[in-house]
Amino acid sequence: MTAEEKIRIAVRALDAKRAEDIRVLKVTDLTILGDYFIIANGTSTTHTRTLAEETEFQLSQKGVEPRHREGMPGSNWYILDYGDVIVHVFYQETREFYRLEQLWADAETLDIRQWIDAPADTKEETPRA
């Protein structure tokens, strides 16, 4: 699966569960950690966990499993490492503290509307209650 397909699935999963301030940073030329960082936040630790779980679930439904994951129930920050795409899901205050967008200020910020404003018939994610 391409990085763009992973991004599309992850961004839609985050948006479907009402993540706040979803950002996609292209960090290809800035680090060897990955090519893209997806950053989003939740409004509580429960919401943050739900966002991470839904993202992992939707990618898993397409046969993509994280190489590594960090965070446990009650965590303020979850990381899902898919190699070329790394998903960071924060509790709002934790995101403000770490300020990844400022740390990676030289990264290109991608317009997520291309993934969340697409017609409904192109949305392939598995519905989940």
Q: Where are the domains of the chain?
A: 3-121
**Could you give the percent of the chain with pLDDT greater than 70?**
91
Q: Rounded to an integer, what distance in angstroms lies between the CA atom of residue 83 and that of residue 72?
A: 20
Contact call for residues 89 and 77 (beta carbons, < 8 A): yes
pLDDT at 121: 45
- Quote the pLDDT of residue 118: 65
Q: What is the pLDDT of residue 119?
A: 59
Read off the pLDDT of each residue in 74-87 and give the average, rounded to a whole number: 93
Q: How confident is the model at residue 21 (pLDDT cuts 50, 70, 90)?
A: very high
CA distance 13 to 125: 8
pLDDT of residue 123: 46
Q: Chain-wide mean pLDDT for the chain?
A: 88
Homologous superfamily assigned to 3-121: Beta Polymerase, domain 2 (3.30.460.10)
Q: For the CA atoms of the chain, what is the radius of gyration? A: 13
